[in-house]
Chains A and B, each alone.
Chain A
Amino acid sequence: MELLVSLVTIINAGANALGSFFLSPIALLPGWISINIISAVLGVLLLLIFKYTSNQKTISRIRDDIKANMLAIKLFKGSISVAFKSQRKIFFASFKLLFHSIVPMLVMILPVSFILSQMGMWYQARPVQLNDDPIIVKMKLNDGLEVWPEVTLQTGQAIQNIIGPVRVLSKKEIYWKIKPIQNGYNSLIFKVGTESIKKQLATGDGFMRLSNKRPGQNIADIFLYPLEKPIPRDSIVHSIIIDYPSRDSRMYGTNWWLIYFFIASMMFALIFKPFLKVRI
């Protein structure tokens, strides 16, 4: 597990570097433009990957078979046996198509997941704005904890600590309510016993790359929240979560962006399919 954590952390570092370069225009563009551009580019890119990782000849043949059988159904409307036979062939051909999609899917699944993690950092939540209500920060401590540590939050000049630390002993959680007073990326520095742990806070209007969570050693969390390094294994802190506000849009807002991205990238792929001569 430790090896896997290290591996994903290294990949995250690379993905972050690439993401910060390629996705940086998101900060400058209106959300509806950036999500459509990304959907178009990725739709075409994934289409090309599909083209070169799949057996286009076989897929082409299966597609032709399907067409032929559909034509047979149309021509021999009166013959139940032909109709059933053709339908059976179409059914099996569809399975074959699915089978031939496995290799490209396997090739694409990891890069696409990393891309989605990178996109999530822009669209899943919006940064805190100076006129927002104070937001909640939650620190989760590890289960093995026996003695409750002394915990303080150093906010610096850019952030105001409104409430906290508020300890929930039964859940091993500590809460703060904070309010940023300066735009930009600022650090929350937590002193937990002898440890010092940082969490980035993004404040500003528009789009900023941010992470709701600084993960611990949970592999799924590390994969989903790649922006900040996971909290070391020997720490008493499990994770730190900032309750960023949701982004309100059905195209590029919280949770909606993912649905829109899938639909839009498929649409763009379908539009460009004839030009790129891809059979899917």
Chain B
Amino acid sequence: MIMKKINRREFIKKSIITATTVVTGMSTGFSCTKKKKLPGAKGKRVIVIGFDGMDPGLCENLMAEGRLPNLMKLRKQGGYRILGTSNPPQSPVAWANFINGAGPGSHGIFDFIHRDPERQVAPFFAAAETVAGQGYLEFGDHKIQLDFWPFNHKPSKTILKRQGVPFWDYLDQAGIESTFYNLPSNYPPSPSKYGNHQCLAGMGTPDLLGTYGTFQHFAENGPMKTKSTGGGMESRIIFNEDTSEPLMLEGPNNTLLNEPKPTLIEFLVHRDKKAQAAVIEIENQTLVLKKGGWSKWVNLDYTLSAPAVMPDKQIKGTCRFYLQEVSPNFRLYVTPINTNPRDPAIQLTEPPEFSKKMSEKLGLFYTTGFQEDHKALSKEVFTEDEYIEQADYVLLERVNLLNYALENYDDGLLFFYFSSTDLQAHMLWWDSEAEHPTRSRTEAKKYFSHLKKIYSHMDKIVGDLLKSHGENSHIIVMSDHGFSNFKRQFNLNSWLRDNGYIGPSDTTSILSDADWTATRAYGLGMNGLYLNLRKRERYGIVDPGQEREKLLEELTAKLEAVRDIDGREVIRKVHRADKIYSGQALQYAPDLIVGYSRDFRASWETCLGGITDKVIYDNNSAWSADHCMDASEVPGVLFSNRPLAEPDPSLEDLAPSILKEFGLKIPATMTGKNIFNEDHS
């Protein structure tokens, strides 16, 4: 090889060029070049704003009162329709209908909770499943996984259970860019094959503890030993003079141990009663909070100890502190430990670096699927006002994220999701003169009026969007379902037991003491009713032929005839799955879908198979409104700034309509239709 000689001048010249390149590269953060846009995307813009749970009845009332001027404008400009929801009208089902442009038979999500018939009623989350890892080597107390030959251990992973083809895959293939922010039923985020799709996962995204959100609460009157209360952990704080004994903030389980244990971060609290304030010291960070004050997002670094021969593993989380009271009873709330979007331990986005990009601009933000901490209100850790304050902060973050989304949007499809209209409605909705489960009439009215303000806030967001993008974009505002009071709860399994379908007569739970030789049907999840079918269920006793048919008819007739003590209809309609569902993903479908009347819902116990003495009783939870009724009772809304042709659109119609907007054919797997006038553009 001949080495080319370079003289000094040449060397200096090259050095300067190299240095300049390095310097320029560093100052621009080594910015990557954007993928080449394909012709299909040119200029076409469709923006979909998804307001989870926005109710048509409330919308119409507020429009009539002139409190939603921008939605009214949208209605006049293009159109407004009541949007048919999914059956059952549960968010994971509804949004999956939206995603596939087809019903639950296409995506296989029929409820929040499914059961495994082979393991006789073993429940699992319908939208995602964590599969345990396979194989490991033991090192003392630790185990390590080596994913290379000859070990080929498989780490645990979370799988998205939604089946079928999401409609953005067709856009992706056609070179049309799409970005989705917090779309439910999409965790882990589905991959993009051609690099034209990016998304931030929404509902279903866990916190670092692997739950849908577990707050931690420290109070002087808290339990001596940390107590899990379903959605939260409560502990006692003990002060020596004005400095607390060391407190522990629980993080993810150390799965590198043979017997996984939670990782902990120690922190200290110093309180000043005179100033009604406190100083919190955690991981070299100092927070100063006064009573009623929230901290900013705090970085947390959990250490998963590894065997001595290996470096420890770090998992980065983030949380906010809320000082509720300083004295006499010191109370400190800590948000669920969210995954840090700057260095996420789980995949939050597709592509994975998308979360870092957002975080560079926006800082830290909520990454769990359920961001409004309704559990803290249900467990009475929050008052209503505290819940509203926390939920309003979530909304503020959402608006910042929407602004980011719009700043970074050129063309293609942009979808943005708001949870405020759903999770605030669950806790604050009450459109009745009847007694509220936990509030006085005055309070119920007060908090319902806050929800109306949220609708007005959403309207303003739509107004800003119309101003900035209304001229050159097709804007669609939609919701997946509406809302209703949840005054009375119906325990389906108690009813089944009392009517002789579940045996023995003193059964307390289908998960623990049901006799499957004496049980012909059972309820699980919010709306599902399953037959104990022979050859399908492990201990099935109902023959699939005539016996099944007769039983389905009998159950339908009896359930539709159920009345509350005041004679009101409890169940609006019972739907047969074999009549309303079609598709390739019917494996976990229930046999009957119980559609409750407004004011009624499946009892809390029903969802996980619990049986109570009473069949119909008051809901006494702060979760006082719901939508898991009959689909006809809680439809959603649809607004568009382009004319709507279809008089009765439903959620499944949106995906095919959007594909049509971009000039693509409607795939045969979609059952929805185009709802827009074809000639508007």
Residues 171 to 198 of chain A near chain B (Cβ within 8 Å): 171, 173, 175-177
Stretch at the interface among B167-175, B230-238, B285-293, B588-596: B285-293
Residue on B nearest A133 in the bound complex, by CB: B296
* Min CB gap A173→B, angstroms: 8
CB-based contact A170/B279 at 8 Å: no
Residues of A at under 8 Å CB distance from B? 30, 32, 36, 133, 136, 138, 162-171, 173, 175-177, 243, 250-251, 267, 271, 274
CB-based contact B286/A136 at 8 Å: yes
A–B complex contacts, Cβ < 8 Å, 24 sampled: A30-B27, A32-B26, A32-B27, A162-B290, A163-B277, A163-B289, A163-B293, A164-B277, A164-B288, A166-B272, A166-B288, A167-B274, A167-B275, A168-B272, A169-B243, A170-B242, A171-B270, A175-B286, A177-B288, A243-B286, A250-B26, A251-B23, A251-B26, A274-B8
Query: For residue A32, which residues in chain B have a CB less than 8 angstroms away from its CB?
Result: 23, 26-27
* Min CB gap A248→B, angstroms: 9
* Min CB gap A229→B, angstroms: 26
Residue on B nearest A241 in the bound complex, by CB: B286
Residues 14 to 37 of chain B near chain A (Cβ within 8 Å): 15, 19, 23, 26-27
Given A136-B288, A175-B288, A243-B286, are A168 and B270 neighbors across the interface (CB < 8 Å)?
Answer: yes
The yes or no answer to B396 lying at the interface (CB within 8 A) is: no
Q: Of the candidates A133, A164, A251, which one forms a contact with B27 in the assembled complex, judged by CB atoms under 8 Å apart?
A: A251
- B interface secondary structure, majority: mixed
Most chain B beta carbons < 10 A, residue from A136, A166, A169: A166
Most chain A beta carbons < 10 A, residue from B19, B243, B275, B279: B279
* Min CB gap A190→B, angstroms: 16
The yes or no answer to B278 lying at the interface (CB within 8 A) is: yes
0 or 1 for each of B512-523: is its CB under 8 Å from A? (1 = yes): 000000000000
The yes or no answer to B241 lying at the interface (CB within 8 A) is: yes
CB-based contact A163/B290 at 8 Å: yes
CB-based contact A166/B15 at 8 Å: no
The yes or no answer to B131 lying at the interface (CB within 8 A) is: no
0 or 1 for each of B260-294: is its CB under 8 Å from A? (1 = yes): 00000000001010110111000000101110010
The yes or no answer to B12 lying at the interface (CB within 8 A) is: yes
With A166-B278, A168-B270 known, 19 other A-B pairs at CB within 8 A are A30-B27, A32-B26, A36-B23, A136-B286, A136-B288, A163-B288, A165-B272, A166-B272, A166-B275, A166-B277, A166-B290, A168-B242, A169-B241, A169-B270, A170-B241, A170-B270, A176-B288, A177-B288, A271-B15
A269-B74 Cα distance, complex, nearest whole Å: 66
Query: For residue B242, which residues in chain A have a CB less than 8 angstroms away from its CB?
Result: 168-170
0 or 1 for each of B293-330: is its CB under 8 Å from A? (1 = yes): 10010000000000000000000000000000000000
* Min CB gap B295→A, angstroms: 9
Residue on B nearest A251 in the bound complex, by CB: B26
Query: For residue B241, which residues in chain A have a CB less than 8 angstroms away from its CB?
Result: 169-170
Given A133-B296, A168-B270, A175-B286, are A267 and B19 neighbors across the interface (CB < 8 Å)?
Answer: yes
* Min CB gap B234→A, angstroms: 25
A166-B274 Cα distance, complex, nearest whole Å: 8
* Min CB gap A128→B, angstroms: 14
Residue on A nearest B270 in the bound complex, by CB: A168
CB-based contact B279/A271 at 8 Å: no
Smallest CB-CB A-B distances: 4 pairs: A168-B270, A166-B277, A32-B27, A163-B290
A250-B241 Cα distance, complex, nearest whole Å: 44
Query: For residue B23, which residues in chain A have a CB less than 8 angstroms away from its CB?
Result: 32, 36, 251
A10-B353 Cα distance, complex, nearest whole Å: 51
Q: Of the candidates A36, A164, A243, A274, which one forms a contact with B275 in the assembled complex, judged by CB atoms under 8 Å apart?
A: A164
Most chain B beta carbons < 10 A, residue from A138, A171, A175: A175
* Min CB gap B380→A, angstroms: 27
* Min CB gap A169→B, angstroms: 6
Query: For residue B272, which residues in chain A have a CB less than 8 angstroms away from its CB?
Result: 165-168
CB-based contact B293/A138 at 8 Å: no
A144-B210 Cα distance, complex, nearest whole Å: 49
A271-B270 Cα distance, complex, nearest whole Å: 55
Query: For residue B289, which residues in chain A have a CB less than 8 angstroms away from its CB?
Result: 163
A162-B286 Cα distance, complex, nearest whole Å: 16
* Min CB gap A211→B, angstroms: 19
Query: For residue B15, which residues in chain A have a CB less than 8 angstroms away from its CB?
Result: 271
* Min CB gap B13→A, angstroms: 11
A243-B286 Cα distance, complex, nearest whole Å: 9
Query: For residue A175, which residues in chain B have a CB less than 8 angstroms away from its CB?
Result: 279, 286, 288
Residue on B nearest A162 in the bound complex, by CB: B290
A176-B286 Cα distance, complex, nearest whole Å: 11
A169-B239 Cα distance, complex, nearest whole Å: 13
* Min CB gap A164→B, angstroms: 7
Query: For residue B274, which residues in chain A have a CB less than 8 angstroms away from its CB?
Result: 167
A170-B271 Cα distance, complex, nearest whole Å: 11
CB-based contact B275/A138 at 8 Å: no
A217-B270 Cα distance, complex, nearest whole Å: 27
Given A133-B296, A251-B26, A274-B8, are A138 and B286 neighbors across the interface (CB < 8 Å)?
Answer: yes
A250-B26 Cα distance, complex, nearest whole Å: 8
* Min CB gap A9→B, angstroms: 29
A166-B293 Cα distance, complex, nearest whole Å: 14
